[in-house]
Structure 1
Amino acid sequence: MNGKQYLLTWAFALFVIVFNLEIKAAAPPNFIFFITDDISVADLEAYGGPIPTPNLNKMVASGVRFENAYVTASSCSPSRSSIITSRYPHNSGSPELHTPLPQNQWKFPGRLRRNGYYSALSGKNHMTWNGVIDDNSRLADAFDDIWKGGRPSGSANWVQQLRKRPKDKPFFYWLASHDAHREWQFTEEASRFSAEAILVPPYHYDGPETREDLAGYYHEVARTDYYLGLIFEELERQGLADNTYVIYTSDNGRPFPRDKTRLYDSGSKVPLVISGPGVPQGKSLEALVSLIDIGPTILELADIPIPEVFQGVSLVPLLLGRKAAVRDYIFVEHNWHTYPANERMVRLGDWVYIRNYNYLDQNMCAESGRAIPAGKELWDAEAAGILQPEQRDIFLKPRPYEEFYNVRMDPNQFENFVNSGRYAEMLNHLRKALDVWTQDTGDTIPENPTVKIGNVNMSERGEFPGAARNATEIQLPGPILRSDVE
């Protein structure tokens, strides 16, 4: 081989290497959306909480942890339907517990699927159940495959499903655990916790039944971490870890009194951790984010246009460090969830404002009643007159119509500043912001709401929030930046 042939051979080899690298870099990324059930952010070791989460800790070390992520409703099906449509519950058409997602609503996994992705849901669905049947045809445009996933965890078949996926397509998996949802079921995949070691929130009654109840919850939270570890192991085994984004979160807070369904941080603030190609390692972000931002984020990472009907915003500028914030406001709603409710919340900075349209009623849900051990013990302590003031929240009747808190000074949201005369400028600003959001998104408080207590089917429901203004057809997202209100 002469010198010229030698140079040509090396030039061709270099071209092949560079071309293959470019093809590899241009390969569409994969996505795993790992959503747990009924887990409050403050309980996880990865966020400084008491429940060990070794695999989530590793994910935090290799990705971005969001310190202030919120659901749009602290209620299972409204929260999930809101995430998949990137729309507020009253705009999604699924604003109450067990209301099926309308088939004509756009869903971000469907956008992925129509752009060449294999899309699958495994585990808890809860976006199609109407109290009678589980009609998965409502999600047929979003997923190629839907697997129910049995109890206790709903996660046992995930590794096999990852192995059986089509190998010629990028993938999106919506992996939804049944943990940590009542009733507690114990297995060998997670530790058991002694009642004495439990950290009881100050607004719960600290008694033996509550401690045992929380120990069951701890076990199921720990089990979610076990399955998260299996997912990462399988991604490594298939050589997919470097090109797969993993997103970890929950649909609402822990299933205990004053937690689930409520607009306090214990109910509506959730974990959110994202790892994957190009994501900074070990970074924590204080920026406010909403779970309706998940869909736009995934679509931008996949280089797919974001539909105008989506009310969320992409978090990619935060992940890449181009912006310190992509939104100034968080809005959360509380509608019927086994008990009548109409509550709205807005957060700006460290300030939270809540408006309770059902202020004449107790603020209840199934997890507040005597049917669960922590609820029974709380009601018994109330009857005995031994509760502390901060433990009596669910018994207040009437309640304050307005609540106003600083979550940095008061993370448990005990000190209501509404009538204090302090911070009046911020209070008035948040009142205005909530009014603008209400108007822009078509939110309404029903004149004939669902009032039945307990599980209901569609024939027993009243008017939906937003129905009077045809909110399911509205595209406006409401205020995102402070300039949208001022």
Structure 2
Amino acid sequence: MKTNLYFVLFSVLVFVVSCKEKTPKESETKKPLNVVLILTDDQGAHLSALGTKGITTPNVDTLAKNGMLFTNSFAVVPSCSPSRSSIMTGMYPHANGHWRNTVTPKLTDGDKEFTRASSTIDKVGIHEYIQTLPELLQENGYFTAITQKFHMSPPWKFPYSARNAVQNSPEEFKKIISGFVRDAGDQPFFFQANIAPPHRNLDKHMEDFPNFLPNKDSIEVPEYLADTPAMREDLAKYYGSVQLADACAGSIMQVLMGKGLLENTLVIFTSDQGEPYHRAKASPYYAGLHVPFVVSGPMIVKGKISEALISHIDIMPTILDYLDIPIPETMQGRSLKSIFSGEKTKIEGRTYVFGEHNSHGPIRAEHYPSRVIFDGQFYYIQNLMHQKTYELPADLMVEKGWGNRSYQATLDAKETHPIQYELLKQLESGRAFEELYDVENDPGQLVNLAGKKEYLEKQEELRNALSKWRAKTGDLVDDPQHIKTRQLEN
């Protein structure tokens, strides 16, 4: 009887001790995950890991080797404010209310400017009922921080614990991110690490960091741009700024690694929109929405390249899924967690990704609504007010202040590069209602296949799918009353 009693007591003791031994490990596995979103400004899908000629992006390439690289990643809109707000809401701009660039406070402004008492409040912004990523993270005990610029509206819907306007200096990024980590203390953190390059002015980036400027003869000129000496000089500064952005991203990674945080941090690298050239930024074409996307962190397959169709509206639900925070019903994106883990190769039920452009800024001349659907090969565009003339944003055509020499270089190439010249002029007036491109065989989108007999079936398929998406997401952009409302907002 005593033996049995001793056995029972011993068993209980072993059980208690084993529980005590497991507790620290269990608490470690339950340690809240940190998140760092590295967001460059106006960077197309250009990385040495993606095969871009003439440049090296060693830091993001290393991130890709330790995680996953996506080749079919798309912003939902090719303008800064609505793109960033789509990321922070997991919604399309026409659905969340933030459909154009907005005037917002600077990160150097005082706290009051980020409240309802702000002196900088735009008429356009996300709807009040929508919960943003910064709001949800702060509600769940996260320290949140943002760098470089704000550019989202209204300001009180995007609360951050800390702000810093650091722009393009790798060394400064080290200091600022280190400070954020220190200030977070024992809190898990979310950093929206915005990086200024390769947004124009490209001259400024290369004047500050000339060692990143590549040889203009070693780079590749996209097919939609005229391959002239002047264009190559401009593009070299763009690609140099991509390399500078990579160095800034590397500094952020160095801080996380040095502080032993990488093992418990989800890192996402992408850009808000495509490159700062006409027929890319502020337009619905492939180069305006196709962006780099790399993810690394715990429970993510290493060294894999994925061709899955993913969208910026997938970022917020993915982050919330990783953090075990309920995903709001307003969300229109899908979690990518099962793809990151290798469980699935694509999002179940997703055949297409969608995009849109409404207006770059508040100027009515810049209002030119378009809608996009892409199936991985064929890229279909509807220009909803195709009869209207369109004015390019200043940074896409003005040299003084913006340093843009590509616009004039294209005009000067009218005789030598007539196709590229015509593509530019079509932007301003003369676009068709429907455009269809086979980007697999025509990456520059030089030949519009819409209306051609052999592509009518594909055109109808994409047209119908786009129509269903617009109805499902409440896209009323060409409704007469909706147009009147937007004109009042402008």
Q: Could you tell me the TM-score, scaled by structure 2's length?
A: 0.83
Q: C-alpha distance in 1, partners of 2:99/2:251?
A: 34
Higher helix content, 1 or 2: 2
| Alignment check: 8 A CA contact 2:352 2:374 kept | yes
Aligned residues between the structures: 444
1:139 paired to 2:158: yes
After superposing the two structures, state which structure 1 stretch, 235-244 or 206-215, moved more. 206-215
Match of 1:445 among 478, 481, 484: 478
Aligned partner of 1:273 in structure 2 is 294
Aligned partner of 1:417 in structure 2 is 449
Offset at 1:266?
1.0
1:102 paired to 2:126: yes
| Alignment check: 8 A CA contact 2:69 2:305 kept | yes
Offset at 1:208?
2.5
1:46 paired to 2:49: yes
Match of 1:182 among 171, 177, 200: 200
1:89 paired to 2:93: yes
After superposing the two structures, state which structure 1 stretch, 102-111 or 172-181, moved more. 102-111
Runs of at least 5 residues in structure 1 that lack an aligned partner in the other structure: 129-134, 452-458, 466-486
CA shift in 2, pair 1:156/1:210, >3 Å: farther
Aligned partner of 1:125 in structure 2 is 150
Aligned partner of 1:359 in structure 2 is 386
1:394 paired to 2:435: no
Give the alignment of 1:219-230 within 5 angstroms: 219-230=240-251
**Aligned AA for 1:197?**
S
**Aligned AA for 2:416?**
I
| Alignment check: 8 A CA contact 1:190 1:223 kept | no
Aligned partner of 2:109 in structure 1 is none
Q: C-alpha distance in 2, partners of 1:256/1:113?
A: 37
CA shift in 2, pair 1:113/1:209, >3 Å: same
Aligned partner of 1:455 in structure 2 is none
Q: C-alpha distance in 2, partners of 1:275/1:245?
A: 6
Q: C-alpha distance in 1, partners of 2:168/2:194?
A: 12
After superposing the two structures, state which structure 1 stretch, 318-327 or 245-254, moved more. 318-327
Aligned partner of 1:76 in structure 2 is 80
Q: C-alpha distance in 2, partners of 1:365/1:27?
A: 48
| Alignment check: 8 A CA contact 1:120 1:172 kept | yes
Offset at 1:280?
0.3
After superposing the two structures, state which structure 1 stretch, 408-417 or 268-277, moved more. 408-417
Offset at 1:11?
7.5
Q: C-alpha distance in 2, partners of 1:437/1:152?
A: 42
Q: C-alpha distance in 1, partners of 2:386/2:411?
A: 20
Q: C-alpha distance in 2, partners of 1:388/1:263?
A: 22
CA shift in 2, pair 1:450/1:211, >3 Å: farther
Match of 2:183 among 165, 175, 187: 165
CA shift in 2, pair 1:464/1:430, >3 Å: farther
1:28 paired to 2:32: yes
RMSD across aligned positions (CA): 2.8
Offset at 1:52?
0.9
CA shift in 2, pair 1:426/1:317, >3 Å: same
Match of 2:307 among 286, 304, 308: 286
CA shift in 2, pair 1:119/1:103, >3 Å: farther
**Aligned AA for 2:156?**
S
**Aligned AA for 1:445?**
D
Aligned partner of 1:475 in structure 2 is none
Aligned partner of 1:217 in structure 2 is 238
| Alignment check: 8 A CA contact 1:97 1:336 kept | yes
1:332 paired to 2:332: no
| Alignment check: 8 A CA contact 1:362 1:399 kept | no
**Aligned AA for 2:283?**
R
| Alignment check: 8 A CA contact 2:85 2:126 kept | no
Offset at 1:264?
2.1
| Alignment check: 8 A CA contact 1:32 1:173 kept | yes
Q: Per the alignment, in what secondary structure is the counterpart of residue 428 of structure 1?
A: helix
Aligned partner of 1:205 in structure 2 is 226
Q: Per the alignment, in what secondary structure is the counterpart of residue 164 of structure 1?
A: helix
- The Cα offsets for residues 174-211 of structure 1, whole Å up to 9 and x where unpaired, read as 11011111112233485222323332112212222222
Q: Per the alignment, in what secondary structure is the counterpart of residue 298 of structure 2?
A: coil
| Alignment check: 8 A CA contact 1:346 1:354 kept | yes
Offset at 1:163?
3.3
Aligned partner of 2:111 in structure 1 is none
- The Cα offsets for residues 236-273 of structure 1, whole Å up to 9 and x where unpaired, read as 22111111010000001110121112222211011111
| Alignment check: 8 A CA contact 1:118 1:170 kept | yes
| Alignment check: 8 A CA contact 1:152 1:179 kept | no
Aligned partner of 1:60 in structure 2 is 64
| Alignment check: 8 A CA contact 2:40 2:195 kept | yes
**Aligned AA for 1:34?**
I
Offset at 1:151?
5.9
Match of 2:438 among 394, 400, 406: 406
Give the alignment of 1:317-328 within 5 angstroms: 317-326=338-347, 327-328=350-351
Runs of at least 5 residues in structure 2 that lack an aligned partner in the other structure: 1-5, 104-121
After superposing the two structures, state which structure 1 stretch, 301-310 or 186-195, moved more. 186-195
Q: C-alpha distance in 1, partners of 2:418/2:388?
A: 21
Aligned partner of 1:468 in structure 2 is none
Offset at 1:378?
1.1
Q: C-alpha distance in 1, partners of 2:251/2:11?
A: 48
Offset at 1:364?
4.9
Aligned partner of 2:397 in structure 1 is 369
Q: C-alpha distance in 1, partners of 2:396/2:247?
A: 29
CA shift in 2, pair 1:151/1:58, >3 Å: closer
| Alignment check: 8 A CA contact 1:336 1:450 kept | no
**Aligned AA for 1:289?**
I
Q: Per the alignment, in what secondary structure is the counterpart of residue 71 of structure 2?
A: strand
- The Cα offsets for residues 28-49 of structure 1, whole Å up to 9 and x where unpaired, read as 11100000000010x2112111
Q: C-alpha distance in 1, partners of 2:275/2:36?
A: 23
**Aligned AA for 1:432?**
N
**Aligned AA for 2:377?**
D
